[in-house]
Structures are given as C-alpha cells and as structure tokens.
Chain A
Amino acid sequence: GQNIDQPTEMTATEGAIVQINCTYQTSGFNGLFWYQQHAGEAPTFLSYNVLDGLEEKGRFSSFLSRSKGYSYLLLKELQMKDSASYLCAAMMNTGFQKLVFGTGTRLLVSP
C-alpha cells in the first residue's frame, strides 16, 4: 500500500522560516515532489528530490532521506503570498510511473 502524511495546517509570520514535513511509505519509490497550490488553482511545481540531501532553490529548499521515508520543504523569508497549500507527492514506479499525493498542508502567513 501507500501512505503519505503531512500536517494539516501550519501558521507562521511574515519574514519567518517554516518547515513542512512529509513522511511516506510507498512501493517502487522513485522520487519526492513538492507542489504549491493556491485555492481554486492547479498545483505548481516547486521541487524534486530523488537522492538523499538538500536541494536549494531560492527561498525554497527541499530535503529527502530515503532510508527514513522522510522529506521536508523549507520556506525562508516568508511572504504573504506564500499562504497556500503545499502538497508532498511520491513518484511510484510499479510498471509505470505515477505520482501519489499526500493530504496537503495549508500554510497561513500572517503579518
């Protein structure tokens, strides 16, 4: 089976740093994606990790530990526009590749 867990909701203040955790248990794991989704819109790609370690991309960084089934998305210098849902998704390869999404974390950034 597959199981991808994230906190349901988080709050933070403008300018702060927030870390959104994701734990997963999937078969045929082939990488971990993070997407941002604003209400009523489609997800937009943020990052992809396939090897252990940290990937940095501007204010956003993503970390993966395959042995622990764990990833996090780190958002620095938070801005009001970062208020959105953040979706963790595991790429599974069970004959063909598909993305399985976690429950999503709703982040609210306050002034």
Chain B
Amino acid sequence: GAVVSQHPSWVICKSGTSVKIECRSLDFQATTMFWYRQFPKQSLMLMATSNEGSKATYEQGVEKDKFLINHASLTLSTLTVTSAHPEDSSFYICSARAEGHDTDTQYFGPGTRLTVL
C-alpha cells in the first residue's frame, strides 16, 4: 500500500513554455501533499505544501505565481511550472502524507526530471 505516482517521469521543454506535473496517491487519500525540488547532488528542498481544497503554502523564496499548485481532490495535486527557464531544470518530487497510516509517514512519488532548453 501507500503508493504515489507522478506523471510525467521526465519532460523536456523549450524556454518560456509551461509544464504541468501530476502527483497521485493511488491507494490512499491524502489531504496534504508536498512538492520538493532537488538539484544534482543536493538534498530535497521543500517548495510548498498543498492542501486539498485550499491554497498551497509556499516556502520562503519560492514564487507562487511561477509554481502553481492545485490540489483538486484527495488523490491528486498538480504543479505547473509557468514560463520555464533553464534554471528551473531539476528533479521535482512530490510526497503525500498518509494520515492515519504509520504515524503520518510521507510517501514519495518517483519524481519528474524537467529539462528546459
């Protein structure tokens, strides 16, 4: 149990375009999902906390107008990178907290590798 999927697993896009990444909890409901970014050989940096039915909470330094988060249902959150630029190229990982499961453990999706040309 506690499987989280992400789509797409990788994407290459041109500078200036927008990219949407989906995060789904497959076998549990998640009122809270998290979006992280990881640059090569670095650790995960929390970008924002996504709450079902309400606005996301962004970490300091993360532009909410550039990284749009929508948590439309208890099993789906989306991250849209708007007007992507090469410096946005990174590994984006979502996680979902399975509340009531295993002391609020977060389960991670497989990640999405974004390359902006």
Partner-B contacts on A (CB < 8 A): 31, 33, 35, 40-45, 48, 50, 87, 91, 96-104
Contact = CB atoms under 8 A, between A and B. Distances in A.
B46 A98 contact: yes
Interface in B8-37: 32, 34, 36
A48 B98 CA distance: 14
Interface residues of B, number: 26
A32 B69 CA distance: 27
B53 to A, nearest CB: 14
Nearest to A8: B41
Contacts of B111: 40-42
Given A101-B44, A103-B43, A42 B93 contact: yes
Interface string B92-117: 01010100001111111111010000
A104 B41 CA distance: 9
Interface string B34-60: 101000001111100101000001000
A96 B34 contact: no
Contact of A31 (B32, B36, B103): B103
A103 B107 CA distance: 19
Contact of A44 (B97, B104, B108): B108
B43 A87 contact: yes
